[in-house]
Amino acid sequence: MDFSKLKEEIIAYSKTIGIDKIGFTTADPFTELKNRLIRQQELGYQSGFEEPDIEKRTNPALLLEEPRSIISIALAYPAKMKIRVESKKGERRGIFCRASWGLDYHRIIKDRLQRLEEFILAKIPGARLKSMVDTGELSDRAVAVRAGIGWSGKNCAVITPEFGSYIYIGEMITSLPFEPDTLVEDQCGSCTKCLDACPTGALIQGGQINAQRCISFLTQTKGMIPDEFRDKIGNRVYGCDSCQTACPYNKGKNFHFHREMEPDPEVAKPLLRPILSLSNREFKIKFGHVSGAWRGKKPIQRNAMIALAHFKDKTAVPDLIKVLEKEASQVAKGTAAWALGKIGGELALAALKKAKDRETDPEVLKEIKKGLAMIAQE
């Protein structure tokens, strides 16, 4: 079998199925990554969402029998919405990060990898292939960097010269001995724009991230958002793009190659108040297809309350009182109490006083007291 010819054929085919960039690397262990992950674990910088077994994350041989190469694919996603939301005075909106615009990218990448697998298997029926994206064991980023898709920026994103870092990536481990591609040179140089732009200081020099301080991670958690980050979340209901928008290599990058990635502005930039009263079914219908819905309704509702507090939206007070009085969840009630304190006013004050007498949960009570203290300082 002529594997360099097959590689050319795969590259040519990838273009026809909407893969914007493809790269090849060996299936050698990711030794440098392994050391980095151990360091991260020691420092407590991990998000907890990642595969816990560092060996599996860094050794392709544990995932596929006798692997010989890994193919990395990248699809560029849009950075700007084609259709603008209609802004009405007093109607506050939240924002989903770009990676949650349009159809869930896991589905898009899986589809392309599946088609690539079928193409390869038609050529070599005995080939062993294993594809993954994001939730797989391997680090999509480490693979993409080694396969020459882009370099790893100080913002921890893979930056391509063609599309900046606005790309979705996934990979396929194969049993086929493809020639590896060359690395893209790191072009961050002395720039620190992403570090300066990060609202929480989550980026650490040397291309590390402390997930526990990262808004993108925090918006995906299910518990109370720690106090120090609440004001910094702003109107982000899911994810954070600040370290990407700050990057000079993303300037002017805005690609609309894939129809399924086009955001519905009413979903990507949703009105905040209606989010608070969505039923599970309504949430699924409106947001179920986007990647930002993967943790369910509750974290988005909590973040929407923080965003309403950020805007000090007085019209949201009755909605927040309803949450405080009717919701069973400690996080929802606690966040509503805090948001009421932040927004302030007579109505909020009365509701918080009433809740203080009624509430028995110590965590919610703590937030009610914080809310009352904020109003007292007004």
CA 372, CA 337: separation in Å to the nearest integer? 9
Q: Which is nearer to ligand SF4, 7 or 98 (CB)?
A: 98
User: Which range binds ligand SF4 by CB under 6 A, 148-156, 291-299, 344-352, 355-363?
Assistant: 148-156
Q: Active-site residue among 134, 241, 313, 319?
A: 134
Instruction: Tell me the two tokens of residue 262.
Output: 């086009």
Q: What is the smallest separation between the CB atom of 54 and ligand SF4, expressed in angstroms?
A: 22
Whether 210 and 272 have beta carbons less than 8 Å apart is answered as no
Among 216, 291, 301, 335, binds ligand SF4 (CB under 6 A): 216
> Does the footprint of ligand SF4 cover residue 161 (CB under 6 A)?
no
Q: Which residue, 174 or 291, is less far from ligand SF4 as judged by CB?
A: 291
Residue 145 in the binding site for ligand SF4 (CB under 6 A): no
- Confirm or reject binding of residue 200 to ligand SF4 (CB under 6 A): yes
Chain positions 230 to 249 lying near ligand SF4, rule: CB under 6 A, are 240, 242-243, 246-249
Among the candidate windows 56-64, 147-155, 171-179, 365-373, which touches ligand SF4 by CB under 6 A?
Answer: 147-155
Q: How far apart are CA 144 and CA 155, in angstroms?
A: 15
Of 129 and 237, CB closest to ligand SF4? 237
Please identify, among the stretches 2-10, 61-69, 190-198, 261-269, the one whose residues bind ligand SF4 according to the rule CB under 6 A. 190-198
Task: Give the residue with the Cβ less far from ligand SF4, 215 or 340.
Answer: 215
- 193 near ligand SF4, judged by CB under 6 A: yes
Q: Which listed range, 39-47, 115-123, 198-206, 321-329, lies at the site for ligand SF4 (CB under 6 A)?
A: 198-206
Cβ-based nearer residue to ligand SF4, 69 or 250: 250
Q: In terms of DSSP bridges, do strands 151-152 and 158-159 run parallel, antiparallel, or are they unpaired?
A: antiparallel
Task: Find the binder of ligand SF4 among 33, 203, 305, 343 (CB under 6 A).
Answer: 203
Q: Which of 153, 234, 292, 334 binds ligand SF4 (CB under 6 A)?
A: 153
Is 23 within 8 Å of 145 (Cβ atoms)? no
Of the residues 76, 202, 304, 351, which one makes contact with ligand SF4 according to CB under 6 A: 202
| Cβ nearer to ligand SF4, comparing 19 with 198 | 198
Separation CA 324–CA 328 (nearest Å): 9
Catalytic, 134? Answer yes
Nearest approach in angstroms of CB 47 to ligand SF4 is 11
Q: Does 188 bind ligand SF4 (CB under 6 A)?
A: yes
329 interacts with ligand SF4 by CB under 6 A:
no
Catalytic residues: 134
Binding residues (CB under 6 A) for ligand SF4: these are: 153-155, 188, 191-194, 197-200, 202-203, 209, 214-216, 240, 242-243, 246-249
